[in-house]
Amino acid sequence: MVDATYRGDLRDLNELNFARFDAKLEQRVEGLQAKLETKMAELQARFEQRLAEMETRLTRRLFNFWIAQAATTAALVFAVVKLAH
């Protein structure tokens, strides 16, 4: 009889401890998820900003390239026309 009572009390104590452990674990997991979501949002914002900066630089370089190409082509056409006369 004592053993059955002791086993029952021990089982109840173990269940209580496990419930406390489970609650603490759940709380920590939720905290980590919140931190992870925050960091991911920050990382995504930084990535999008850097991508936009790179796109701006690339557009500027391509624009400068095409201006130089147009000037070179115009100079070539002008030189050919001048030589032809």
**Cα end-to-end distance, the chain, whole Å:** 123
Confidence of residue 1 (pLDDT cuts 50, 70, 90): low
SS3 80: helix
At 50-63, the pLDDT tens digits run 999 999 999 999 99
Q: Please state, in angstroms and as integers, the Cα–Cα distance from residue 31 to each residue in 38, 40, 60, 78, following that order.
A: 11, 14, 44, 70
Query: For the chain, how many structural domains are there in total?
Result: 1
Confidence of residue 3 (pLDDT cuts 50, 70, 90): confident
Task: Give the domain range for residue 45.
Answer: 1-85
> What percent of the chain has a predicted confidence (pLDDT) above 90?
87
For CA atoms 26, 32, 37, 40, the dihedral sign is negative
For position 6, what pLDDT does the model report?
A: 83
